[in-house]
Amino acid sequence: MLENNISEYLSKSGHKSLNVRAMLFDMDGVLFDSMPFHARSWHQAAGEFGLEISEAQAYMNEGRTGAGTINELAMKQWGREATEKEVEDIYKRKAEIFVACGNAEPMRGAAQLLDGIRKSGLKIVLVTGSGQRSLLDKLNHSYPGIFAPENMVTAFDVKYGKPNPEPYLMGLKKAGVKANEAVVVENAPLGVRAGVAAGIFTIAVNTGPLPDEALGKEGANVIFPSMQYFAEHWDEVSADFNKFSLQ
In whole angstroms, the minimum distance from the beta carbon of 28 to Ca ion comes to 4
Q: How far is the CB of 34 from Ca ion (least distance, A)?
A: 9
Specify whether 26 is catalytic: yes
Site residues (CB under 5 A) for Ca ion, limited to 178-207: 187-188
DSSP state of 32: B
Select from 20-28, 48-56, 103-111, 133-141 the region that touches Ca ion (CB under 5 A): 20-28
Which residue lies nearer to Ca ion by CB, 180 or 207? 207
Give 59-62 contacts, CB < 8 A, sequence gap 24+.
59/35, 59/188, 59/208, 59/209, 59/210, 60/189, 60/190, 60/210, 60/214, 61/190, 62/28, 62/29, 62/35, 62/38, 62/187, 62/188, 62/189, 62/190, 62/191, 62/208
Residue closer to Ca ion by CB (options 28, 240) is 28
Nearer to Ca ion, 81 or 216 (CB): 216
Contacts within 8 Å (CB) and 24+ apart, 2-6: 2/222, 2/236, 2/237, 2/240, 2/241, 3/240, 3/243, 5/221, 5/222, 6/201, 6/221, 6/240, 6/241, 6/243, 6/244
Measured from the CB atom, is 113 or 188 closer to Ca ion? Answer: 188
Instruction: Output the residue with the shortest Cβ distance to Ca ion.
Output: 29
Closer residue to Ca ion in complex, CB, 176/209:
209
Residues between 109 and 148 with contacts to Ca ion, criterion CB under 5 A: none
From the CB of 199, what's the least distance to Ca ion, in Å?
Answer: 20
- b/e sequence 152-163, b meaning 16+ C-beta within 10 Å: bbbbebbeebbb
Lay out the site mask for Ca ion across 23-62 (x = CB under 5 A, - = otherwise): ---x-xx---------------------------------
Interface size with Ca ion, residues (CB under 5 A): 5
28 a catalytic residue: yes
Catalytically annotated residue among 26, 89, 137, 235: 26
Contact 97, 40 (CB under 8 A): yes
Per DSSP, 53 falls in state -
Which residue stretch of 19-27, 42-50, 78-86, 142-150 sits at the interface with Ca ion (rule: CB under 5 A)? 19-27
Query: Catalytic positions, please?
Result: 26, 28
Question: Site residues (CB under 5 A) for Ca ion?
Answer: 26, 28-29, 187-188
